[in-house]
Amino acid sequence: MSAYPDTRLRRTRATGWSRALHRERTVTPADLIWPLFVGSGDAEEPIATLPGVSRWPVAVIVERAREAVALGIPAVALFPNTPPELRSADGAEALNSANLACRAIAAVKDALGDSIGVIADVALDPYTSHGQDGLVDATGYVLNDATVDVLARQALVLANAGADILAPSDMMDGRIGAIRTALESEGHVNVQLMSYAAKYASAFYGPFRDAVGSRGLLKGDKRSYQMDPANAEEALREVEQDLAEGADSVIVKPGLAYLDIVTRVRETFGVPVFAYQVSGEYAMIEAAAAAGMGDRDALVLETLTSFKRAGCTGVWTYHAAHAARLLNG
């Protein structure tokens, strides 16, 4: 590159049309996944720690999915808030083909078919009375292999309900291989696995746990299976293992604090990698906007652009509908 003044890097930034022409990364509604919370009641249930986000009855979830289609959002991810009386130590409700998640999946697919993808969470924390993602022993330790057996059965229940993508979020060793084998054996050869391959034991999950009703139930913490925030090399090993076991794509969670992990995964493996802009990250943007500390629209679009710049194929975000409206003009 020649020296100044022959090279003036500001030349291409001088006008809007030129900035658009030289833009390296763009965000479109097709890059977004919209997480939605399914409630068991008959009315909307606003979530206090997630301003603007609610739990919706199954019938209204269908309307939210229809809204996503109209906005150009290709997929929704459904998370149930299981009633307390249906939670148990073994999370048996996860295997009920008529549970809240299955009813929501079936309703969306019956109404909209292949015009939208439906992603289902594979984990036991929405169903356990102790709030852990798996089965626990007498000391409270989360059991790996026994949990994997249940997760494979849960995956089949969700696939039978019509889920297009299963997203195992539990972080048990070997669960991707077990789920892939179960899906193949039952003929679900086109059901995708989008693995939470690098899911960290983060402080940013609090509002989500409120949304699915597990925060007050959680006994202990999840550090024996979710990743240590200090580790990066370990994330690559997790991703490599999940890909070897049959994952079609991977997720890094949370998002903004782990953009370096997104970049390293994309550069190392060259596979579709998604980031989850988690509840705490969403809540910080909303709090900043409410306090007059930043422009909400600009903050939303800038953070989404940062995910794409880091190498994301797409982004899970509670701002999906709002961002799509902004992007659609």
Question: Which contacts (CB < 8 Å, 24+ apart) does range 262-269 have?
Answer: 262/307, 262/310, 262/311, 262/312, 263/310, 263/311, 264/232, 264/235, 264/236, 265/197, 265/198, 265/235, 265/236, 265/239, 265/311, 266/310, 266/311, 266/312, 267/311, 268/236, 268/239, 269/239, 269/240, 269/243
Task: Please say if the pLDDT value at position 218 is more than 90.
Answer: no
Task: Please say if the pLDDT value at position 68 is more than 90.
Answer: yes
**Does 109 qualify as catalytic in the annotation?**
no
Please report which confidence band the pLDDT of residue 213 belongs to, taking 50, 70 and 90 as the band edges.
confident
**In this structure, what are the phi and psi dihedrals at residue 195, rounded to the nearest 5 degrees?**
-85, 135
Region 25-34: what's the mean pLDDT? 97
* pLDDT for the residue numbered 211: 83
Region 271-283: what's the mean pLDDT? 97
Q: Which of 61, 65, 68, 34 is nearest to 274 (CA)?
A: 34
Please report which confidence band the pLDDT of residue 61 belongs to, taking 50, 70 and 90 as the band edges.
very high
Concatenated DSSP letters of 300-324: HHHHHHHHHHHT-SEEEETTHHHHH
Please state which of the ranges 182-186, 204-208, 215-219, 302-306 shows the lowest mean pLDDT. 215-219
% of the chain at pLDDT higher than 70: 100
Region 1-11: what's the mean pLDDT? 92
* pLDDT for the residue numbered 210: 85
Region 175-189: what's the mean pLDDT? 98
Q: How far apart are CA 173 and CA 48, in angstroms?
A: 34
* pLDDT for the residue numbered 22: 96
Task: Please say if the pLDDT value at position 88 is more than 90.
Answer: yes
Mean pLDDT of the chain: 96
**Does 222 qualify as catalytic in the annotation?**
no
- Sign of dihedral through CA atoms 243, 244, 247, 248? positive
* pLDDT for the residue numbered 209: 84
* pLDDT for the residue numbered 212: 82
Q: Which residues lie below 8 Å from residue 244, measured CB to CB, with a gap of 6+?
A: none
Task: Please say if the pLDDT value at position 215 is more than 80.
Answer: no
Which helix or strand (DSSP H or E) is residue 195 part of?
strand 192-199
- Is residue 35 within 8 A of residue 279, CB to CB? The reply is no
Q: Which two tokens stand for residue 280?
A: 């705490």
% of the chain at pLDDT higher than 90: 95
- Domain 26-327 class in CATH: alpha beta
Please report which confidence band the pLDDT of residue 206 belongs to, taking 50, 70 and 90 as the band edges.
confident
Catalytic residue from among 109, 222, 253, 308: 253
Task: Please say if the pLDDT value at position 216 is more than 90.
Answer: no
Task: Please say if the pLDDT value at position 59 is more than 90.
Answer: yes
**3-state class (DSSP) for residue 325:** helix
Q: Which residues lie below 8 Å from residue 70, measured CB to CB, with a gap of 6+?
A: none
Domain segments of the chain as ranges: 26-327
Q: How far apart are CA 179 and CA 118, in angstroms?
A: 18
Q: What is the pLDDT of residues 228-266, one digit of tens each?
A: 999 999 999 999 999 999 999 999 999 999 999 999 999
Task: Please say if the pLDDT value at position 126 is more than 90.
Answer: yes
Please report which confidence band the pLDDT of residue 175 belongs to, taking 50, 70 and 90 as the band edges.
very high
Other CB atoms within 10 A of residue 59 CB: 11
Catalytic residue from among 109, 199, 222, 308: 199
Give the 3-state secondary structure percentages of the chain, helix then strand then coil, rounded to 5.
45, 15, 40
290 CB burial (10 A radius; 0-12, 13-18, 19+): exposed
Please report which confidence band the pLDDT of residue 214 belongs to, taking 50, 70 and 90 as the band edges.
confident
Q: How far apart are CA 210 and CA 49, in angstroms?
A: 7
- Is residue 185 within 8 A of residue 98, CB to CB? The reply is no
Task: Please say if the pLDDT value at position 220 is more than 90.
Answer: no
* pLDDT for the residue numbered 12: 95
- Sign of dihedral through CA atoms 177, 164, 82, 280? positive
Please report which confidence band the pLDDT of residue 153 belongs to, taking 50, 70 and 90 as the band edges.
very high
Task: Please say if the pLDDT value at position 40 is more than 90.
Answer: yes
